[in-house]
Amino acid sequence: MEETFTLNVCHLYGNLLNTYGDNGNLLVLNYFAKKNNIQFNTEIVSIHEPFQPEKYDFIFFGGGQDFEQLIVSKDIQTKKEALINYIENDGPFLAICGGYQLLGHYYMGANGEKIQGIGALDHYTESQVNNRFIGDVTIHNETFNETYTGFENHNGVTFIGPSEKPLGTVQTGFGNNGQDKTEGAIYKNTYCSYFHGPILAKNPHLAIRLLNVMLQHKYQQQAPTLSLD
């Protein structure tokens, strides 16, 4: 069958923030796209490179260590306005862990350094003293009635703002901060989570959900609806 749908993907700082194999998320999306005859093109946009929002139907932003996050936090200020426009225009986005933290106001690194975010989303991240949240985590999203599982490994404790909804309610594990039972964030078509694993490999129903968000946003009435079967 001929391919009639194409999704162009920006892998934001994919050469710097990919410590936990988060780019597996793009492999999973590519797998389901191909199965449905959808062309899935990805390119890395990194430091000193312009980010042109009109070129992309999806942005993926992975996690990493404080050292790389600090480098990215400086460069991302040059892309801040374009990224905020993309998000405000309902552009589909998935941000994991370090990427999630950088979309918010700031992240306090484990050594007390303040790592500036872009404030596109209304969360902020503090650090824990001599502790990391490490382990398996399960959450439930009531709106979608879906359960997601993953693995978390973070020092940061994130508090989401009033304009954000959590990706889910924590059933086991720590989630955003170990206190309020929230995990991740959803704002417009931007999805955030602390889950590695990668999240979409462990949760193919979320991968299909995101592909449908991308197709809807780009093709509107013409968009096909994908399902897991």
155 binds ligand GLN (CB under 6 A): yes
Q: Which token pair is 141?
A: 């999203």
CA 157, distance to chain mean position in Å, is 16
58 sits near ligand GLN (criterion: CB under 6 A): no
**Max intra-chain CA distance, the chain:** 56
Angle separating helix axes 24-35 and 204-219, nearest 10 degrees: 70
Chain residue whose CB lies nearest ligand GLN: 63
Q: Is 97 a catalytic residue?
A: yes
Tell me whether residue 85 or residue 179 sits nearer to ligand GLN (CB atom).
179
CA 31 to chain CA centroid, nearest Å: 18
- Contact between 20 and ligand GLN by CB under 6 A: the answer reads yes
# residues contacting ligand GLN (CB under 6 A): 12
Sign of the CA dihedral with 99 first, then 40, 224, and 147 last: negative
- Output the smallest distance, CB 63 to ligand GLN, in A: 2
Using the rule CB under 6 A, which residue among 8, 116, 153, 171 binds ligand GLN? 153
Q: Which amino acid, one-letter code, is at 22?
A: D
Choosing from 18, 59, 61, 63, the residue that interacts with ligand GLN (CB under 6 A) is 63
Judge whether 132 is annotated as a binding position.
Answer: yes
3-state secondary structure of 128: coil
Q: Which of 195, 200, 213 is nearest to 91 (CA)?
A: 213
Closest distance of CB 103 from ligand GLN, Å: 12
Catalytic residue among 10, 11, 97, 123: 97
Residue 178 CB, nearest approach to ligand GLN (Å): 12
Bridge partners of 55?
A: none
Nearer residue to ligand GLN within complex by CB, 47 or 223: 47
> In this structure, are residues 150 and 24 in contact, taking their beta carbons and an 8 Å threshold?
no
Q: Is 66 in the site for ligand GLN (CB under 6 A)?
A: yes
Smallest Cα–Cα separation from 7: which of 210, 189, 196, 221?
A: 210
Window of 50-58, 61-69, 86-94, 143-151 that interacts with ligand GLN by CB under 6 A: 61-69
Distance CA 91, CA 72 (A): 21
Residues 94-133: x where in contact with ligand GLN by CB under 6 A, - otherwise, as a string:
---xx-----------------------------------
Q: Which residue(s) pair with 11 in the sheet?
A: 44, 60
55 vs 114, beta carbon nearer ligand GLN: 114
Report the interface residues with ligand GLN, using CB under 6 A: 20, 63-66, 69, 97-98, 153-156
Just list the catalytic residues: 97, 196
